[in-house]
Structure 1
Amino acid sequence: MKYTLMVNEGPYQHQSSDTALQFARAALDKGHEIFRVFFYHDGVNNGTRLAVPPKDDRMLQKEWSELAEKHGLDLVICIAAAQRRGLMDASEAKRQGLTADNIAPGFRISGLGQLIEGGIESDRTLVFGD
Structure 2
Amino acid sequence: MSQLTYTLVVNGSVYGSQSARSAYQFAKALIGQGHTLVSVFFYQDGVTNGSALTVPANDEFNLVKAWQDLAGDHGVRLETCVAAALRRGIVSQDEANQHGLSQNNLAEGFTQAGLGSLAEAMLVQDRVVQF
TM-score (norm 1): 0.96
Number of corresponding residues = 128
Q: Structure 1 residue runs of 4+, over 4 Å off? A: none
Q: Output the amino acid matched with 2:91.
A: M
C-alpha displacement of 1:69: 0.5
Select 2:59's aligned residue among 53, 56, 60: 56
Alignment partner, residue 122 of structure 1: 125
Calculate percent identity across the aligned residue pairs.
46
Deviations 1:7-60 (A, max 9, x none): 000111110100100111111111101121100000000000101111111110
- Offset of residue 64 of structure 1: 0.2
Deviation at 1:115, TM superposition (A): 0.5
Partner of 2:36: 33
Q: Let me know the Cα RMSD of the aligned residues.
A: 0.7
User: Which ranges of structure 2 fall in alignment gaps of 5 or more residues?
Assistant: none
Gaps in structure 1 of 5+ consecutive residues: none
1:105 equivalent in alignment to 2:108: yes
* Residue from 62, 73, 84 that aligns with 1:81: 84
Q: Secondary structure at the match of 2:79?
A: strand
Q: How does 1:41-52 map onto structure 2 within 5 Å?
A: 41-52=44-55
CA distance in 2: counterparts of 1:22 and 1:103, whole angstroms:
22
Please report the TM-score for the alignment, with normalisation by the length of structure 2.
Answer: 0.95
